[in-house]
């Protein structure tokens, strides 16, 4: 893979945020930036792959059990029993 150097100035808070996220995920800041570029600006040949990569890279979140999820969706859509 051919690589090129790019220098970008960002705000201190942004750099700190990237550093924290990179440490949590066990990757480099450069890796986060490359992944963010691929997700935000996918190549015309691989837009779906970039979307999938973004989903897989997302931090896991808690979701309710199926019974509570169904009740919540029914409430949102006005189908409450």
Host H or E run for residue 70: helix 66-76
CA gap 34, 45 in Å, rounded: 17
- Tally the domains of the chain: 1
Residue 2 lies in a domain: no
Q: Say how many C-beta atoms besides its own lie within 10 A of residue 32's C-beta.
A: 17
> What is the pTM for the complete model shown?
0.53
Over residues 7-60, the pLDDT tens digits come to: 999 999 999 999 999 999 999 999 999 989 888 887 776 677 778 888 888 888
Cβ-contact 53, 35 below 8 angstroms: yes
Residue 6 lies in a domain: no
Q: Does the structure show a pLDDT above 70 at 81?
A: no
């Amino acid at each position: 893979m051919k690589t090129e150097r790019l220098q970008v100035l960002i705000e201190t808070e942004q750099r700190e945020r990237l550093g924290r996220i990179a440490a949590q995920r066990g990757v480099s800041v450069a890796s986060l930036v490359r992944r963010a570029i691929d997700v935000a600006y996918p190549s015309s040949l691989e837009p779906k792959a970039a979307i999938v990569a973004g989903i897989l890279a997302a931090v896991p979140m808690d979701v309710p059990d199926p019974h509570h999820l169904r009740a919540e969706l029914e409430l949102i859509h006005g189908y409450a029993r």
